[in-house]
Structure 1
Amino acid sequence: MATAADAFERYLRMERGRSDHTIRAYRGDVDALLIHAVAEGYSSLAELDLGSLRRWLGEQNSAGLARSTLARRAATVRSFTAWALREEIIAVDPALRLKAPQREKSLPAVLQQQQLSRLLEGMGAAAQTGDPVAIRDLAMVELLYATGIRVGELTGLDLADVNRERRTVSVVGKGNKERVVPFGVPADAALGLWLNAARASLYKPHSGTALFLGQRGGRIDQRSVRTVVDRVFSSLADTSATGPHTLRHSAATHLLDGGADLRTVQEILGHSSLATTQLYTHVSVERLRDSYKTAHPRA
């Protein structure tokens, strides 16, 4: 079973081109399933049956795991057993009839445009002191909001990926799919300040071509970016939003609010399915409804 798990991980990396984060999540789910199977007395993958899979999910449900986590783990198992069937490791797929609880349909957190304006103005004032870290943080947040790219896509950027003349950035997203995303004048100004006046202060011989650098000179990591974003969000007294993904949600919602069509937003965000992008139309409708209730005398 451990050999099959290793082979599945190689398949995800080499054939499916999944990100390191996704591979870690899939491998963790598969390992948890196999530990459960061994505890139940199974000695090979071919012995797994639907009952064992259901008991595994049932135990996690009883432990209080979120429905979204259970749904993800069920999807991982279905992918794993379907792969094992194709590889002829098993003769029958035990997960064909495996179901998990429906995910909670919660709308993503979105900052209002006025909130983002206040946040960026505050960061801009800090950057004017000449502190290279403050300048870097401003450039990262401006670029995240301007483009709606994922935090992993931001940290993977190299200098050559940015075209300031055309104001575009080349991004490698999920599935190793590359896309070109535009950004605006404020993000370009922040990038120019970082590249021309601050990056050299953090540069070290091992920095290479990474666009954004950590305080030790290496490529900045996702955790550091999340820390930066959470810190600046905490300066806003009127939101509990956290994480760089809030900037992605906000960018998508504001694009739709401004009249962009769904296909354009889908291309910018790098969604493989238009259904994923349609979530943001619900966010816009909810905001419209809230404004209506607040403003209309007969709401």
Structure 2
Amino acid sequence: MDYHEEQKKNDIKKLRELLFQLPEFCFEYFRGIEPTTAEKTRLGYAHDLRIFFSFLLEYIPSLSGKTIHDITLEDLDGVSAQQIEMFLDYLSYYEKPDEDGAVEEFQNGERGKARKISAVRSLYKYFYKKEKIKGNPAMLVSTPKIHDKNIIRLDVNEIARLLDEVESGDKLTKHQRVYHEHTRVRDLALISVLLGTGMRVSECVGLNLTDIDFENNGLRIVRKGGNESILYFGDEVEQALRDYLEQRKQILPLEGHEDALFLSLKKSRLTVRAVENLVKKYAQTVTQLKNISPHKLRSSYGTELYNETGDIYLVADVLGHKDVNTTRKHYAQIEDSRRRSAANVVKLRKEE
């Protein structure tokens, strides 16, 4: 089965399992939003709604003694906007027992709270529109203000040092160098692809051998939402890929992983987590002050592309942002710097 289809299937299975941990009316809700939402969005909503219903049972007196399965639409209709605001406050810090009975601590910042209130809003909106509840208190609750973070990225010199380290492995530990001997060529190709195209890590691990087009130096990827796109790469990425493919020919993959471009030492498709750990391992040898992830490599590419072209629409298109304002917000610092540099370009009085 195709990697992306496999991912969809797994998300659907996880959602079905979660649905049995939610009130019965949630079956109707998730069927209703299926045509307009992606699998991962629905799965995220299910996780967030489970937290919301657990909060209601714990803190709403009228629901005392009930279980999640006992919650009805009438109960949902009885929740006030103030109680939903209490839920947002609760998300700042709460505790839950894990499967072994040990207490786990959870914290949510403004982004985590915004995602969870979005799930609650979607639920209320659906049943209010269906006229199955009388009110929509979730719409009266403000979304937490999300403050823009400074973009953490590698500068040009750090990128060069990172690629040098992937090739040499000089700063790795003795234990890490043992594995580096077997993964160096693959790791260089993988990190070159991330840095040279700006693709998401999920798009990178989903690459198949048939997705490479050396005639046009393009990589076919599947974006979030399932749309296909072509990202183009330069000579350095081409060379790294060609070197890896020579090595890749000698590997006999596990059954079901024959098409995967990037393979683990176990000869199966690399996972997102594995790539995250791989990037972190090498990045720590280059900078201790920046917490570099695959997403930060994506930001590094976006920054360089914008610095070279000044075209925010091109950056948005290549990065796969549906709304250019998302891109503009992320790279606002660079735009501000460019505007400042323009201040001294225009001279009011020409020197003689």
- TM-score (normalised: structure 1): 0.85
State the alpha-carbon separation in 2 of the partners of residues 19 and 222 from structure 1: 17
Deviations 1:254-283 (A, max 9, x none): 101112411111111110111111134323
2:112 to 49, 62, 69: 69
Whichever residue aligns with residue 70 of structure 1, its letter is: K
Bigger relative contact order, structure 1 or 2 (CA pairs below 8 A, ≥6 apart): 1
Instruction: State the shift of 1:194 in Å.
Output: 1.3
State the alpha-carbon separation in 1 of the partners of residues 214 and 228 from structure 2: 18
Whichever residue aligns with residue 328 of structure 2, its letter is: Q
Deviations 1:166-191 (A, max 9, x none): 11112111222222111111111111
State the alpha-carbon separation in 2 of the partners of residues 24 and 33 from structure 1: 14
Deviations 1:207-257 (A, max 9, x none): 221111122122111000000000010111454222100001110011011
Corresponding residue of 2:80:
49
Instruction: State the shift of 1:29 in Å.
Output: 0.8
Task: Judge conservation of contact 1:202–1:216 (CA < 8 Å) in 2.
Answer: no
1:243 to 293, 313, 323: 293
- The 1:196/1:83 distance shift into structure 2, 3 A limit, reads farther
Whichever residue aligns with residue 30 of structure 1, its letter is: L
Task: Judge conservation of contact 1:19–1:174 (CA < 8 Å) in 2.
Answer: no
* 5+ long unaligned stretches in structure 2: 1-21, 64-70, 95-106, 171-178, 342-352
Corresponding residue of 1:4:
25
State the alpha-carbon separation in 2 of the partners of residues 109 and 134 from structure 1: 26
Paired-residue identity, %: 24
Task: Judge conservation of contact 1:119–1:236 (CA < 8 Å) in 2.
Answer: yes
- The 1:65/1:217 distance shift into structure 2, 3 A limit, reads same
- The 1:181/1:231 distance shift into structure 2, 3 A limit, reads same
Task: Judge conservation of contact 2:279–2:293 (CA < 8 Å) in 1.
Answer: yes
Whichever residue aligns with residue 38 of structure 2, its letter is: R
Instruction: State the shift of 1:138 in Å.
Output: 1.1
Alignment of 1:98-117 (within 5 A): 98-117=141-160
Alignment of 1:256-295 (within 5 A): 256-285=306-335
Q: Out of 180-189 and 71-80, give the one that drifted further.
A: 71-80
- The 1:286/1:232 distance shift into structure 2, 3 A limit, reads farther
Alignment of 1:1-299 (within 5 A): 2-9=23-30, 14-20=34-40, 22-39=41-58, 40=60, 41-42=62-63, 43-46=71-74, 47=77, 48-61=79-92, 65-125=108-168, 131-198=181-248, 200-201=250-251, 203-237=253-287, 239-285=289-335
Provide the secondary structure at the position in 2 that maps to 1:95: helix
Deviations 1:121-169 (A, max 9, x none): 2213359x99442211111111111111111111111122221221111
- The 1:70/1:130 distance shift into structure 2, 3 A limit, reads closer
Instruction: State the shift of 1:62 in Å.
Output: 5.9
Aligned length: 288
- The 1:287/1:245 distance shift into structure 2, 3 A limit, reads farther
Query: Computing the radius of gyration over CA atoms, which structure comes out larger, 1 or 2?
Result: 2
- TM-score (normalised: structure 2): 0.73
State the alpha-carbon separation in 1 of the partners of residues 184 and 37 from structure 2: 34
